[in-house]
Structure 1
Amino acid sequence: MRPAAMVRIALMTALTAVMTQIAVPIPPVPFTLQVLAVMLAGYLLGPRYGAMAMLVYLLIGAVGVPVFSNFGSGLGHLLGPTGGYLLSYPLAVAVAGLVAPALAGSRRPAAIAWGVGAGVAALAIIYGVGASWLAVQAGLSPGAAFAAGVAPFVVFDAVKVVFATVLAAAVAPRIASTRLFVGPSREPGGSGRVR
């Protein structure tokens, strides 16, 4: 793995840990800025390295570093009622990351449309896994789990997806020469080869 890849994975892991601590406690699922970091990891790192950043985040939290909401950590946090949301992040990031080449190389309206679409799909994964896990762990019906773990967050998370997409569409083309996802080269005079 290239040093640049390791640095970006580390930066997105750190960003996720910081965004997680910006929280408003809404039992049983706190409101945080995690989704914003998750989307940015996918949009800027692509599916492979974005998923790696989330796996590193989960691993360091599991071994006791307080990176989960309210400075939580440990396997108990991952296996608790809200653990499904956390465990869904690598897959969600991989889905969001599928549009990383489009965000780096497409014209802005197309890039934003692709990004929002992938972000909504990633959000559906987070909600699906998270609410299902919450229902099982907390003994809730599917409807009650949806009401507690999805409904209060939909509007705010949709805003985060749009914001992350717009931000990534502005930033990704500027870092395209060192981008980490696999896609056609966008270098001036490039042959369109796959890196």
Structure 2
Amino acid sequence: MGNTKLQMMIVTALFTAIIGILAQVAIPLPLVPITGQTLAIGLAATILGSRYGTYSTILYMIIGAIGVPVFSQMTSGLGILLGPTGGFIVGFIPTVYFMGKYLEMTRFNVTHAIIANVMGMFITLIFGTVWLKIVASLTWYEAFLSGFAPFVAVGLIKAVLAGWIGIVVRRRLKEAHILVPAA
């Protein structure tokens, strides 16, 4: 099995990269683009659980904040985190933690993974919409129309995909002894 701590550090770093890669899959909208970040966050939580999923998300934010262009559309820097879309990125931390905790307290199966990912989608959207309203000086209605409403349908699709694919990949990684039993 080898050094399990090292294995989990490597898998965590891999998921940080996956988040950065899927962030580049983007459909531009006026204020907030539709991206693959939320799919990647759902996969991280579903596959890695609360601890390592959260680590991968924090690492993603740190490397983006210091200038590595991992945020949507190859952007980076503190300006992105403090700007109108920063709340979505910051909201990934409680989102992935909550989803992982939910799965750890219930079961890592497709049904619970989809439930966790749907709840996580709403956590991210609420965080991002509140932040957008404040930073962009929008009304609640404008923030809802720009930061919440356009993302619900595609978010539900990504939640189902992340739940289903995440459980399949998690099982395979556990069978291959890449994920340690506590993950």
Structure 1 residue 178 displacement after superposition: 4.1
Match of 1:126 in 2: 124
2:35 counterpart of 1:32: yes
2:139 counterpart of 1:102: no
Structure 1 residue 179 displacement after superposition: 2.6
More relative contact order, 1 or 2 (CA 8 Å, 6+ apart): 2
SS at match of 1:21: coil
1:111-150 equivalent positions in 2, closer than 5 A: 111-150=109-148
Match of 2:8 in 1: 5
| CA contact 2:84–2:132 (8 Å) conserved in 1 | yes
The structure with the largest alpha-carbon Rg is 1
- Matches of 1:20 and 1:114, distance apart in 2: 25
1:152-163 equivalent positions in 2, closer than 5 A: 152-163=150-161
Deviations 1:26-51 (A, max 9, x none): 01001111111000000111101100
Structure 1 residue 169 displacement after superposition: 2.0
| CA contact 1:45–1:181 (8 Å) conserved in 2 | no
SS at match of 1:88: helix
SS at match of 1:120: helix
Q: Please, what is the CA RMSD of the aligned residues?
A: 1.6
Structure 2: gaps (5+ residues): none
- Matches of 1:51 and 1:93, distance apart in 2: 6
| CA contact 2:13–2:56 (8 Å) conserved in 1 | yes
The normalised TM-score by structure 2 is 0.91
Match of 1:84 in 2: 87
SS at match of 1:87: helix
The normalised TM-score by structure 1 is 0.85
1:33-48 equivalent positions in 2, closer than 5 A: 33-48=36-51
Deviations 1:94-149 (A, max 9, x none): 1121215722xxxxxxx222111111221111011100000001111112111111
Match of 2:182 in 1: 182
Deviations 1:142-188 (A, max 9, x none): 121111111111111110110111112222222224434737xxxxx
- Matches of 1:173 and 1:17, distance apart in 2: 23
In the alignment, which of 11, 14, 38 is matched to residue 17 of structure 2? 14
- Matches of 2:156 and 2:180, distance apart in 1: 26
Percent identity, please.
37
Report the AA paired with residue 60 of structure 2.
Y
Structure 1 residue 17 displacement after superposition: 0.4
Deviations 1:40-92 (A, max 9, x none): 00011110110000000000000011111111111011000000000011111
After the TM superposition, which segments of 4 or more aligned residues of structure 1 sit over 6 Å from their partners? none
- Matches of 1:85 and 1:21, distance apart in 2: 15
2:86 counterpart of 1:51: no
SS at match of 2:29: coil
